[in-house]
Each structure stands twice: as structure tokens, then as C-alpha cells.
Amino acid sequence: MVGIVLISHSPQLAVEVAELAAQIGGRDVPIAAAGGTDDGRLGTSITKVADAIATVDQGDGVILLMDLGSAVLTAKTLLDEHPRPRVFLADAPFVEGAISALVTSGGGADVKAVLTAAEEARHIGKL
């Protein structure tokens, strides 16, 4: 199953979005919250992101969803320093992308389909 990592500046936001997505998308999908700095403040942590990837990686790939611009920078920096061929950055809305990714992963889709579902979530609610 494809794993999902939620990277947020807020530890609480990351945990709450993970919980919401798990309630909607199913609890069997591996999901991890990587929110805040190493000392619990607002910000992001390369160490937390790396640990979260290791936690959810079951061999089928991992999708990273980020809340704000510097979370993207943290994720990109980690992947530049330690390339992971099965780990992908999603250009997706944080909440809707997480839910779409979890539902799609839970349905048994491959990593590319999960990434596409997360990114297409930006169209949710548009007429």
C-alpha cells in the first residue's frame, strides 16, 4: 500500500489532518504526520520528515503532502540530499489531497495513481 506523509508547520494540524483522512479513507493506509520542528515549535524538520517516510514506506511508494512553501523546501531538500526513487512530492491541497490520496491508496492503486488523485483534489468543489 502507498504511504502518505503530511508535512505541516503545525504539529497539531498534521496530526488532525491525518486523523480526518484516516477516518474518511480508512485506517489501514499507512499515514504519518510530520509537523513542527524537532523542539515542537512551528516550522518543519527534515528529521521528522525522514522518520515519517521510514514509518509509512511499505515498498509501494510514499506521497508527501505539504502545507506551505517552506514545507515544500524541507521535503525537496531531504530528497535532494537523500534521493528516494519511490517518494513523490504532491502538488496538492493539504486536506483534500490527503483524503484523496488515502482513499486511492486504500483501494490498492499504485503510487502514480495515488499521486494523481492527490493532485486532482485541487479541483474538488469547483464548478
9 in catalytic set: yes
Residue 29: closest CA among 79, 91, 118, 104: 104
Cell of 35: 509537523
Q: Are 14 and 8 in contact (CB under 8 A)?
A: yes
Contacts of 94 (CB under 8 A, 6+ apart): 6, 8, 17, 65, 66, 67
What per-residue string of b and e applies to 39-52 under the rule 16 or more CB within 10 Å gives b?
Answer: eeeebbbeebbbeb
Considering the candidates 2, 6, 8, 9, report the single residue annotated as catalytic: 9
The set of catalytic residues is: 9
